[in-house]
């Protein structure tokens, strides 16, 4: 039985597509067959992040209309066998497709792989409804900002109404230093409002921008950056492994402040 | 916040804003226990000033079912009171599916609309078509003031965008998140954190109270008074009660002290 997971957030720009791309790559690396579905019709991005743009021939819309077979539209990733992408259309708008059709498409796709990750568009309109139609699980991506958390809360409510009960939370773009200085919501603050089990915390990382522009997800690198490790941990937790959360607090401290800390703890 | 203190930023509203006067409370999906079975009452189209979309209705139903599902015996029979609402076969199936998920069964559908009756009969449900007349009478709440309904007890998180309206007292086991709201004709009890909006006594009963384990609301409303929370949250939270004092000001008291408070005010009156 394959798992169908929608990646959603409500608010835009919190990193849904980045999470989808990296998580897909990670899960494929762990040895599973993964299909990524770009459900952001009209504003497709996922192919860019994966560096697969120039290999897209057909898209999900053509499959739904019946202009091509599903296998024809799937783009296989050469760097990571096991990863496939079902791209979104640029020209047809989301209204042309209904949740029923989407559900059927996802159902067919799920027969071919272990994981289906659906990248949902921002908002709670038709595109969102299409994206969650076939899903049985959800990953809520949010940043530690009140607006993002508020929207995430709304989306959790909508998912619950749609009977998507297995929901996990990813807190993205956390800046431990700002949290320490009380300038940013902490992971605990976010969790307290959303009351959804946490599956990952991704620190803010400049490498994400670089990798996005290159079309090489962080999780693809041999030498994983901190955010890359965080994504890998999410992938492993998703498999059911219990992995400890990264200690983001100590990572940015330099040698001397650590020594200072050690000394202080010795004295008192 | 010391006990029995007026909120520092209380905004007493001497003039009643029109939006706070008469809330038409009757337009949400309701589940009611009625001689052994359950009644699922859909808001009548004639009653609701706002046009309820089907999606909204369906979401309300799902939230009600999610919030109360442990109170029903499996396979309880449900009578669907569709009133004057137009429902097609697909929508009837969606309602039946939602009920089935909560292990409830539609026993019979009551409607005043011929088209709904036909759709229901086609889908294989037993149908009773009622006279239109009855719905017209109950459609005038201003003349026929209904007694306050039985309390609504829900175990769920009221999340952003969700609004619970009930013509009686509401008890929530869980949090009310910012962006969520509860509007009740009676009291409001939150066994959790109240961070959204709560409006008790929305049809003008200023005796109503709002109680919460942790009171950090966006706004509190009782009858026609409005108050917002202080800008600085208190250092420590304890269960609190919001009520309207005899002077007509919305006040908040520590729950432990509240029992004492009304006695004092009674003496003041004398």
pLDDT of residue A53 exceeding 80: yes
Q: In this prediction, what percent of chain A has a pLDDT beyond 90?
A: 80
Residue contact B63–A157, C-beta within 8 A:
yes
Residue contact B177–A153, C-beta within 8 A:
yes
The whole-number pLDDT of residue B49 equals 54
> Could you report the per-residue pLDDT of A61-98, keeping only the tens digit for each?
999 988 899 999 999 998 999 999 999 988 866 677 89
CATH superfamily name and code, A3-267:
P-loop containing nucleotide triphosphate hydrolases (3.40.50.300)
Stretch A223-233: mean pLDDT: 93
Question: Which chain B residue is nearest to residue A125, measuring alpha carbons?
Answer: B55
The shortest CB-CB distance from B179 to any of A150, A161, A195 is to: A150
Say yes or no: ipTM exceeds 0.90.
Answer: no
pLDDT of residue B270 exceeding 90: no
- The three state secondary structure string of chain B is CCCCEECCCCCCCCCCCHHHCCCCCCCCCEEEEECCEEEEECCCCCCCCCCCCHHHHHHHHHHHHHHHHHHCCCCEEEEEEEECCCCCHHHHHHHHHHHHHCCEEEEEEEECCHHHHHHHHHCCCCEEECCHHHHHHHCCCCCCCCCCEEEEEEECCECCCCEEEECEEEEEECCECCCCEEEECCCEEEEEEECCEEEECCCCCCCCCEEEEEECCCEEEECCEEEECCCCCCCCCCCEEEEECCCCCEEEEEHHHHCCHHHHHHHHHC
> Could you report the per-residue pLDDT of A174-200, keeping only the tens digit for each?
999 999 999 999 999 999 999 999 999
The C-alpha of B147 sits at a distance from chain A's nearest C-alpha, in angstroms, of 30
**Which range in A76-85, A243-252, A258-267, B63-72 is most confidently predicted, on average pLDDT?**
A76-85
| Sheet containing B240-244, strands listed edge to edge, beginning at the edge strand earlier in sequence | B5-6, B250-254, B240-244, B210-215, B188-194, B168-173, B149-155
Q: Containing H/E element for A85?
A: strand A83-86
Return the domain boundaries, chain A.
3-267
- Structural domains of chain B ordered from first start: 5-16+146-269 (2.160.20.70), 30-138 (3.30.70.260)
> Could you report the per-residue pLDDT of A93-129, keeping only the tens digit for each?
667 789 999 999 999 999 999 999 999 999 999 999 9
Name which of B219, B222, B230, B229 is nearest B181 in CA terms.
B219
The C-alpha of A75 sits at a distance from chain B's nearest C-alpha, in angstroms, of 35
Question: Which chain B residue is nearest to residue A193, measuring alpha carbons?
Answer: B177
Stretch A245-258: mean pLDDT: 65
CB contacts under 8 A, A 103-162 vs B, are: 146, 150-151, 153-154, 156-158, 160-162
The whole-number pLDDT of residue B140 equals 43
The token pair at A109 is 């796709």
> Could you report the per-residue pLDDT of B88-102, keeping only the tens digit for each?
999 999 999 999 988
Stretch A205-219: mean pLDDT: 92
**Helix/strand/coil for A169:** strand
The whole-number pLDDT of residue B23 equals 52
Asked if residues A193 and A172 have their Cβ atoms less than 8 Å apart, the reply is: no
The C-alpha of A163 sits at a distance from chain B's nearest C-alpha, in angstroms, of 8
Burial code (b: 16+ CB inside 10 Å, e: under 16) for B71-110 equals: ebeeebebbbbbbbbebbeebbebbbebbeebebebeebb
Residue contact B179–A158, C-beta within 8 A:
no
pLDDT of residue B138 exceeding 70: no
Q: B150 — contact with chain A (CB < 8 Å)?
A: no
CB contacts under 8 A, B 75-134 vs A, are: 101
The whole-number pLDDT of residue B192 equals 96
Stretch B131-139: mean pLDDT: 51
């Amino acid at each position: 039985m394959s798992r169908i997971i929608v990646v959603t957030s409500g608010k835009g720009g919190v990193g849904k597509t980045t999470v989808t791309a990296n998580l897909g790559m990670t899960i494929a690396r762990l040895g599973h067959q993964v299909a990524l579905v770009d459900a952001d019709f009209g504003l497709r991005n996922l192919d860019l992040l994966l560096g697969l743009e120039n290999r897209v021939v057909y898209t999900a819309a053509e499959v739904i209309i019946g202009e091509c077979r599903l296998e024809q539209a799937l783009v296989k990733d050469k760097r990571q066998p096991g990863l496939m992408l079902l791209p979104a259309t640029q020209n047809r708008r989301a209204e042309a497709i209904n949740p029923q059709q989407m559900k059927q498409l996802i159902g067919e796709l799920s027969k071919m792989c272990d994981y289906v990750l659906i990248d949902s568009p921002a908002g709670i309109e038709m595109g969102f409804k299409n994206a969650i139609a076939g899903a049985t699980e959800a990953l809520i991506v949010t940043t530690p900002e009140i607006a993002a958390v508020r929207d995430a809360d709304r989306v959790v409510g909508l998912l619950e109404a749609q009977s998507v009960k297995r929901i996990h939370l990813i807190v993205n773009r956390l800046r431990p230093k700002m949290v320490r200085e009380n300038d940013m919501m902490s992971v605990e603050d976010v969790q307290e409002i959303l009351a959804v089990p946490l599956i990952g915390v991704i620190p803010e990382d400049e490498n994400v921008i670089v990798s996005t522009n290159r079309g090489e997800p962080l999780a693809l690198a041999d030498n994983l950056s901190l955010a890359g490790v965080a994504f890998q941990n999410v992938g492993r937790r998703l498999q059911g492994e219990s992995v400890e959360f990264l200690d983001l607090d100590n990572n940015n401290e330099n040698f001397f402040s650590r020594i200072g800390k050690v000394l202080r703890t010795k004295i008192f | 916040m010391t006990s029995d203190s007026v909120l520092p930023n209380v905004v007493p509203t001497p003039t009643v804003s029109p939006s706070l006067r008469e809330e038409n409370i009757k337009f949400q999906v309701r589940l009611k226990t009625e001689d052994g079975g359950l009644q699922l009452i859909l808001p009548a189209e004639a009653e609701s000033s706002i046009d309820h979309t089907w999606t909204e209705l369906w979401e309300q139903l799902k939230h009600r079912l999610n919030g109360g599902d442990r109170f029903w015996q499996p396979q309880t029979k449900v009578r669907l009171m569709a009133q004057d609402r137009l429902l097609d076969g697909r929508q009837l199936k969606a309602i039946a599916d939602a009920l089935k998920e909560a292990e409830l069964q539609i026993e019979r559908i009551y409607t005043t609309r011929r088209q709904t009756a036909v759709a229901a009969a086609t889908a294989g449900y037993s149908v009773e078509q009622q006279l239109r007349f009855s719905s017209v009478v109950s459609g005038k709440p201003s003349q026929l003031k209904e007694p306050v309904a039985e309390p609504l007890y829900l175990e769920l998180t009221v999340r952003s965008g969700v609004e619970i309206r009930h013509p009686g007292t509401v008890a929530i086991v869980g949090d009310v998140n910012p962006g969520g709201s509860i509007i009740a004709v009676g009291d409001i009890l939150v066994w959790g954190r109240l961070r959204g909006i709560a409006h008790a006594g929305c049809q003008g009963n200023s005796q109503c109270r709002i109680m919460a384990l942790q009171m950090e609301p966006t706004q509190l409303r009782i009858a026609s008074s409005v108050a917002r929370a202080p800008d600085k949250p208190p250092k420590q939270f304890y269960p609190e009660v919001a009520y309207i004092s005899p002077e007509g000001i919305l006040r908040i008291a520590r729950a432990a002290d509240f029992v004492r408070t009304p006695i004092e005010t009674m003496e003041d009156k004398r």
